[in-house]
Chain A
Amino acid sequence: GAVVSQHPSWVICKSGTSVKIECRSLDFQATTMFWYRQFPKQSLMLMATSNEGSKATYEQGVEKDKFLINHASLTLSTLTVTSAHPEDSSFYICSARDSYTFPYQETQYFGPGTRLLVL
Chain B
Amino acid sequence: AQSVAQPEDQVNVAEGNPLTVKCTYSVSGNPYLFWYVQYPNRGLQFLLKYITGDNLVKGSYGFEAEFNKSQTSFHLKKPSALVSDSALYFCALSYNTDKLIFGTGTRLQVFP
Contacts of A91 in B (CB 8 A): 41
The CA of A6 and the CA of B41, in the complex, are separated in Å by 13
Whether, in the assembled complex, A112 has its beta carbon less than 8 Å from a beta carbon of chain B, the answer is yes
Given A42-B104, A43-B90, A115-B41, A110:B36 Cβ within 8 A: yes
A46 touches B99 (CB 8 A): yes
Mark contacts of B88-100 with chain A using CB atoms, 8 A cut-off: 1 yes-contact digit, 0 otherwise: 0010001000111
**Pair A110/B99 contact, Cβ less than 8 Å:** no
Q: Please give the distance in Å from A119's CB to the nearest CB on chain B.
A: 19
Q: How large is the interface on A (under 10, 10 to 19, 20 to 34, 35 or more residues)?
A: 20 to 34
Task: Give 28 CB contacts A-B under 8 Å.
Answer: A34-B99, A34-B100, A42-B104, A42-B105, A43-B105, A44-B102, A46-B99, A46-B100, A49-B98, A49-B99, A91-B41, A93-B44, A95-B43, A95-B44, A95-B100, A103-B51, A106-B51, A106-B94, A107-B34, A108-B34, A108-B46, A108-B100, A109-B46, A110-B36, A110-B44, A110-B45, A112-B42, A113-B43
- Distance A115 CA – B94 CA, assembled complex (angstroms): 26
Q: Is B49 an interface residue (CB 8 A)?
A: yes
Given contacts A34-B98, A111-B43, could you give 5 more A-B pairs where the C-beta distance is less than 8 Å?
Answer: A49-B99, A91-B41, A110-B45, A110-B46, A112-B42
Q: Shortest CB–CB separation between residue B42 and chain A, in angstroms?
A: 6
Contact of B43 with A106 in the complex, beta carbons under 8 Å: no
* Interface residue B111 (Cβ < 8 Å from any Cβ of A): no
Residues of B within 8 A of A103 (CB): 51
Q: How many Å lie between the Cα of A44 and that of B103 in the bound state? A: 9
Among B49, B102, B105, the residue within 8 A (CB) of A106 is B49
Name the residue among A95, A97, A108 with the largest chain B CB count within 10 angstroms. A108
Known: A43-B104, A43-B105, A106-B49. A112 touches B43 (CB 8 A): yes
Within 8 A of A (CB), among B15-47: 32, 34, 36, 41-46
Residues of chain A contacted by B42 (CB below 8 angstroms)? 112-113
